[in-house]
Amino acid sequence: MTKRLQEIEDSYKNLLHAIKESDTFNESLVIEDIVKTSFKLIQQLFDVSFLTLGVYNNRSKGLDLLGISKEKEVISRRFEDMKDSNRWSVYCYQSQQDILFSGQNHFPEKHFSNLLFNDSLHTRESFIYGSIVRSEY
Amino acid sequence: MTPSTQGSHLFMGVLSVQSIKKNEFTQQDVEKIKILANYISLCLISIETKNELKKVALELEEARNYFELKISNRTDKIKKQKKEIEEQNRNLSEQREMMLKLSKTLEEINTDLERQSMVARKTDNAIMVMDAVGNILWLNECFNRLYEYTHEKFQQVRGTNILQTSFNPNIGELLDKCITTKQVVHYDALNVKGDGTEVWTHTTLTPVLNDEGDITHLLTIDTDITELKEAQLKIEKQSLDITNSIHYAARIQKAVLPSKEELKQLFSDYFVIYRPRNIVSGDFYWHYQKNDKIVIAVADCTGHGVPGGFMSMLGIAFLNEIVASDSLRSAAQVLELLRLKVKLSLRQTGKINETSDGMDIALIIADTKREKLFFSGAFNKLLLNRNGKVTEYQGNKMPIGIYISDNIPFTDHVIDFKKDDCFYLFTDGVIDQFGGPNDRKFSLKKLKSLVTQNGSLAMKEQKKIYNDALDNWMGSADYQIDDICFMGFKF
């Protein structure tokens, strides 16, 4: 009887795990909608080629990046580790500073003099990185 | 998603927009992006909240299921325990019922034992329980009453073993017999009681056997048979007195029968076989002599023993009267007179419930001068053996006494006899005697055969042969069914 109870409890835990994984997936789908919606919205304001939303993942200690381009309008995914601070997104998240880059003449070198950024700039002539903050936490 | 915090700010992620054009964004656009980022943060919070709620709901569901499972398990356990308790209760109930039954059985056994004990204690029989060799273990209350001893005094005076206590002189043999055969032994004894008086007891000595058939105890039950014994002694004395009287009567009866000397004077040779079934006989033989005439009779009165004896005395008296007053011309006439006297004396008139006593008889009158013989019979016969040839003379088929054809006269047979002729008269006790291999009657045929074979022998020898033949036939004297009278003679 005890053995049978243990088997049932194990089966139940496995089921819960499966549900959690499924929820994570659903969550991703919802975030994709946010990305798509945000991209449509922002296009009405600017001429935006790319939009990237990075959501902090506490388990993997990094940012789950979902990007969408004007050309393909499909979601691409990428992960950037918090250890890799040479990334613009990681830098933005860790420093909690908004970044505006509109051309080399406007590059805020004073902020990035010590950084060697890995992001290629030749396809992106201008960009903005803003942190997503929940106030009054 | 667990973002990092700084003060009251929670950093959830990064929003980035890029353009392939230079100088596309301004500081104002940064503000716009920040506004959008705020909206996105709200969306993310919403998702997170929703997920948290789902998680809580899931945990609650999990907890609920867990507790349901636990409760279910607990319920199952309780049900199982309840079932076990019910089973235990049922077992206890059965055990209780069994105990009650056992208790009732024990109570019944106790009651039965109490009754048996009461019977053993209160009975009018003296009971003594002993071990396997007769040592006294227990005496009941009746011992006080029957033997006028207390238990202690009884054992003190009489002893502690049945060999010492019993007044039966053969107690040793009786005890051995009981122990050896493991069977009940009965015996009587005249005991001396504590107060010096005597009491007759009948004792049943019983061996008590265990399952293996070994004697574990001996038991005596003494019954006071003093009154019975006194009555028995009285009866025995009366019986002895009666027997003595009958023996005396037999002496009287024998005294009236013809003596050997008288018969020797009548015949050249003769024998008489006279066997009363009891002490006195209903059969008799009789003689009378007047000048050249000899009268011989052999008779069988109804009944045997004392009644037969009375009738035979009557018959002898009547015959004596008749021959004294008669001219002795006819045997048949003698029988008719005898019949008349019997009927008159016994008051036989033919009415219902009257006595029909009487006698069968064979009577001859021998005229020795003229060598003529007259025979007449009431049922009885005469046999004549002349030179080895036996002739049978039948009597009339009617008795002396009241009878349906008692007005018919008796028949006279007249025989011219010769010197060596042997005559035989007998009662039906001879031919009706049962015996032999098939327990049949001796029969007239067998008698005639014997007479034929032995008629030439001396009468003494013939008597022995006929006696032996009868003895062999009946086997034992106890088996004699009637009085026997058998007479042979020659003139």
Strand order from edge to edge, sheet including B359-367:
B283-290, B293-301, B359-367, B372-378, B413-416
A54 in contact with B, Cβ within 8 Å: yes
Query: Could you tell me which of B484, B491, B86, B16 has the C-alpha nearest to residue B263?
Result: B491
Quick one: pLDDT at residue B21? 81
Q: Is the pTM of this model over 0.80?
A: no
pLDDT in tens, B214-223: 999 999 999 9
Task: Tell me which of A20-34, A50-64, B268-282 is least confident.
Answer: A20-34
C-beta atoms of A98 and B30 within 8 A: yes
Specify the residue for token string 């709901």: B57
Task: Tell me which of B285-289, B342-346, B450-454 is least confident.
Answer: B342-346
Q: Report which listed range, A107-111, A127-131, B24-28, B379-383, is most confident.
A: B379-383
CA distance B479 to B469: 14
Q: Is the pLDDT of residue A119 over 60?
A: no
Mark which residues 86-125 of A lie under 8 Å from B by CB. Answer: 88-89, 92-93, 96, 98, 100-103, 106, 123-125
Chain B residues touching A34 at Cβ < 8 A: 40, 43-44
C-beta atoms of A47 and B33 within 8 A: no
C-beta atoms of A129 and B15 within 8 A: yes
Q: Is the pLDDT of residue B352 over 80?
A: no
**pLDDT band of A91, cuts 50, 70, 90:** confident
- Average pLDDT of the residues in B298-317: 85
3-state secondary structure chain A: CHHHHHHHHHHHHHHHHHHHHHHHHHHHHHHHHHHHHHHHHHHCCCCCCEEEEEEEECCCCEEEEEEEECCCCCCEEEEEECCCCCCHHHHHHHHCCCEEECCHHHCCHHHHCCCCCCCCCCCCCEEEEEEEEECCC
Locate the chain A residue with the closest alpha carbon to B21. Answer: A125
pLDDT in tens, B229-275: 889 889 999 989 888 888 888 888 888 889 999 999 989 999 999 99
CA distance A62 to chain B (A): 10
CA distance B414 to B469: 31
Neighbour-count burial for B393-414, b at 16+ CB within 10 Å, e otherwise: bebbebbbbbbeebeeebebbe
Q: What percentage of residues in chain A have a pLDDT greater than 70?
A: 64
Q: Residue A54: which of B10, B14, B69 has the nearest Cβ?
A: B14
Q: Residue A30: which of B3, B47, B73 has the nearest Cβ?
A: B47
pLDDT in tens, B95-135: 888 889 988 888 888 888 787 777 777 778 888 899 999 99
CA distance B147 to B166: 12
For all residues of chain A together, what is the average pLDDT? 75
Q: Residue A48: which of B6, B17, B22 has the nearest Cβ?
A: B17
Q: Is the pLDDT of residue A26 over 90?
A: no
- The DSSP bridge pattern shows strands B382-386 and B434-435 to be unpaired
Quick one: pLDDT at residue B119? 72
- By three-state DSSP, how is residue B442 classified? coil
CB atoms inside a 10 Å sphere around CB B62:
16
Chain B residues touching A48 at Cβ < 8 A: 17-19, 24
C-beta atoms of B33 and A130 within 8 A: yes
CB atoms inside a 10 Å sphere around CB B380:
26
Query: Does the ipTM exceed 0.85?
Result: no
Cα dihedral B2→B3→B4→B6 (10° resolution): -120
For all residues of chain B together, what is the average pLDDT? 87
| Whether the Cβ atoms of residue B132 and residue B216 lie closer than 8 Å to each other | yes
Quick one: pLDDT at residue B254? 84
Give the A:B interface size as CB pairs under 8 Å.
194
